[in-house]
């Protein structure tokens, strides 16, 4: 058995097991557990409980900050905006290759989703915070179990694999560039938060969260290629959930749900570890599929409208994030003033 096969089967069956337990027991927001499981099974090895505890601490801290904002700052818009600006800058500035994996994502979850739920009703922020933390821990446990029962050692080690050099340690960009990148991400994310909070767009909060993720991810380059990849992953996950949803409408049983989700996770996992140019796109496609699957099965009659709306929100988030990064990045480009001054004097850059 090759390493690619081990990685594929571990991810597919790990995510499928999380789906089986979460949808079978159906605790609060249980559909989030497979998402967290996917994130931690993407790592080639178990991150270790020391790192896991650090991530739990980061998420817990962000959830507490979110509860504080929801309880005390929503009625003080100016102070709330200033607090968000500081928090976003701190998160994006410290989102480096040396930071804990997905640390920025987990910090962002707590300070965005929890406060906006406070606009929807009393008690919702506390409910959401507790549900997120519980599902996060359960996702970690699933990842730990499947890393333990399906380790990389099951694969045959090729001679050239043993002789492969270790990758060079990541290096940080210059401090000035880190500050500029963090400012760009902060301005775009803060703009999204102000818009969604001001117009009480609680029903579309998923788009706001996606924007905050996209502008903070190191790979979220403001380019046409990033927009193409985002749209393509949304289409792949959207087409998969459309097919699965219609099958579940025809055969609405738990066992049939397990069958079709197993086939889907095997398909996505195989594509993700195929080593092709489309592999990263299928990673986003799988997470899109899991989000749409969970939000579509929470309701009955409006499920079809629900996941079409989710697809539209993801596409909107991609357009907003990339357009914002392009515009703000251009305005904060230190070379822009030099170029403008050269153009005014008639000199060639």
Question: Model confidence over 245-281: pLDDT tens digits?
Answer: 889 889 989 999 999 999 999 999 999 998 888 888 8
Q: Token pair of 39, please?
A: 């994130």
Per-residue pLDDT reduced to its tens digit, 87-136:
999 999 987 666 666 778 888 999 999 999 988 888 899 999 999 999 99
Residue 25, exposed/middle/buried by CB under 10 A (0-12, 13-18, 19+)?
exposed
Q: Distance (Å, rounded) from C-alpha 70 to C-alpha 309?
A: 26
**Chain-wide mean pLDDT for the chain?**
84
CA dist 320 and 189 (Å) reads 10
Return the SS3 of 97: coil
The confidence band for 297, taking pLDDT boundaries of 50, 70 and 90, is low
Position 138 pLDDT exceeds 80:
yes
Q: What percent of the chain has pLDDT over 90?
A: 46
Of 54, 52, 46, 56, the C-alpha closest to 145 is 46
* Distance from C-alpha of 129 to C-alpha of 12, rounded to nearest angstrom: 28
Confidence check: pLDDT of 76 > 80: yes
> At residue 214, does pLDDT exceed 90?
no
CA 54/CA 45 separation, integer angstroms = 17
Region 278-301: mean pLDDT is: 79
Long-range pairs, 317-321, Cβ under 8 A, ≥24: 317/207, 317/208, 317/210, 317/211, 317/214, 318/210, 318/214, 318/226, 318/227, 318/230, 318/231, 318/234, 319/227, 320/188, 320/192, 320/207, 320/211, 321/188, 321/210, 321/211, 321/214, 321/215, 321/220
**Confidence band for 234, pLDDT divided at 50, 70 and 90:** confident
Q: Which of 100, 38, 113 is CA-nearest to residue 69?
A: 113
- The answer to whether residues 36 and 185 touch, using CB atoms and an 8 Å cutoff, is no
What are the angstrom distances between the C-alpha of 308 and each of 188, 226, 288, 299?
A: 25, 22, 12, 14
- Looking at the predicted structure, is the pLDDT value of residue 186 above 60? yes
User: Taking the CB of residue 45, how many other CB atoms lie within 10 A of it?
Assistant: 8
Residue 203: per-residue pLDDT: 86
Residue 239 has pLDDT above 80, yes or no: yes
pLDDT band with cut points at 50, 70 and 90 for residue 164:
very low
For 105-116, b/e burial (b = at least 16 CB within 10 A) is bbbbbbbbbbbb
Separation between Cα atoms, residue 115 and residue 117, nearest integer Å: 5
- Six-digit token pair at 3? 């390493």
How confident is the model at residue 220, as a pLDDT? 46
For residue range 139-154, list pLDDT tens digits in order: 999 999 999 999 988 8
pLDDT score at 277? 82
In terms of Cα–Cα distance, which of 223, 207, 211 is closest to 186?
A: 211
Residue 255, pLDDT score: 95
Q: What share of the chain is helix, strand, coil (3-state, %, to 5)?
A: 75, 0, 25
Q: Where are the domains of the chain?
A: 3-155+176-334
pLDDT winner (highest mean) among 50-54, 260-264, 319-323? 260-264
DSSP secondary structure string, 113-164? HHHHHTTT-TTHHHHHHHHHHHHHHHHHHHHHHHHHHS-GGGSPPPHHHHTP
Task: Read off φ and ψ for residue 254, nearest 5 degrees.
Answer: -65, -40
Average pLDDT rounded to a whole number, residues 324-337: 78
Range in 6-15, 144-153, 227-236, 273-282 with the lowest mean pLDDT: 227-236
Q: What pTM did the predictor assign?
A: 0.84
């Amino acid at each position: 058995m090759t390493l690619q096969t081990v990685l594929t089967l571990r991810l597919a069956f790990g995510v499928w097991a999380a789906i089986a337990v979460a949808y079978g027991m159906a605790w609060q927001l249980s559909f989030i557990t497979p998402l967290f499981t996917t994130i931690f099974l993407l790592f080639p090895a178990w991150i270790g409980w020391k790192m896991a505890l650090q991530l739990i601490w980061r998420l817990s801290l962000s959830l507490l900050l979110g509860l504080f904002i929801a309880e005390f700052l929503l009625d003080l818009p100016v102070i709330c905006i200033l607090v968000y600006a500081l928090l976003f800058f701190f998160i994006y500035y410290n989102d480096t290759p040396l930071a804990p994996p997905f640390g920025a994502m987990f910090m962002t979850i707590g300070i965005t989703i929890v406060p906006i739920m406070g606009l929807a009703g009393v008690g919702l922020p506390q409910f959401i915070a507790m549900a997120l933390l519980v599902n996060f821990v359960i996702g970690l446990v699933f990842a730990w179990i499947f890393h333990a029962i399906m380790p990389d050692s099951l694969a045959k080690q090729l001679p050239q694999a043993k002789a492969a050099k270790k990758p060079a340690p990541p290096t940080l960009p210059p401090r000035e560039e880190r500050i500029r990148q963090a400012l760009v991400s902060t301005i775009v994310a803060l703009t999204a938060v102000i818009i969604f909070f001001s117009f009480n767009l609680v029903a579309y909060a998923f788009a706001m969260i996606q924007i905050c993720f996209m502008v903070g991810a190191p790979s979220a380059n403001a380019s046409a290629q990033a927009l193409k990849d985002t749209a393509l992953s949304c289409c792949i996950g959207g087409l998969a959930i459309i097919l699965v949803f219609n099958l579940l409408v025809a055969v609405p049983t738990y066992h049939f749900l397990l069958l079709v989700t197993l086939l889907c996770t095997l398909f996505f996992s195989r594509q993700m570890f195929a080593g092709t140019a489309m592999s990263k796109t299928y990673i986003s496609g799988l997470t899109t599929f899991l989000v749409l699957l969970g939000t579509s099965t929470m309701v009955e009659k409006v499920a079809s409208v629900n996941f079409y709306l989710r697809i539209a929100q993801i596409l909107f988030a991609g357009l907003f994030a990339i357009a914002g990064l392009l515009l703000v990045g251009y305005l904060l480009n230190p070379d822009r003033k030099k170029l403008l001054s050269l153009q005014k004097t008639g000199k060639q850059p």
